[in-house]
A = this chain, B = another copy of it.
Amino acid sequence: MSTKATFYHAGCPVCVDAERTVAEGLDRARFDVEIVHLGDHADRVAEAERFGVKSVPALVIDAQVYHINHGADLSALKG
């Protein structure tokens, strides 16, 4: 049974780097990794907020948020 891992980002350089290294570095045998670009999917900003995401890039695993470096505040992605 895979654990769901959601990587929220906004296409920023810091995000892309963390996606390529950390998110794509997760063991796919154990994690079902979903990459969500919040700029393209503004409808999912509220979902990220509910998990406690404050900035991107962020990885949510088992409802725990791991903010990885800092690319942009979530507030900057809200319309």
Contact = CB atoms under 8 A, between A and B. Distances in A.
A17 interface: yes
A21 to B, nearest CB: 5
Interface residues of A, number: 21
B69 A18 contact: no
Given A67-B68, A67-B69, A68-B67, A22 B21 contact: no
22 contacts: A5-B25, A17-B64, A21-B62, A21-B64, A21-B66, A22-B22, A22-B61, A22-B66, A25-B26, A25-B27, A25-B30, A25-B31, A25-B61, A26-B26, A26-B27, A27-B27, A27-B28, A65-B69, A66-B68, A66-B69, A67-B68, A67-B69
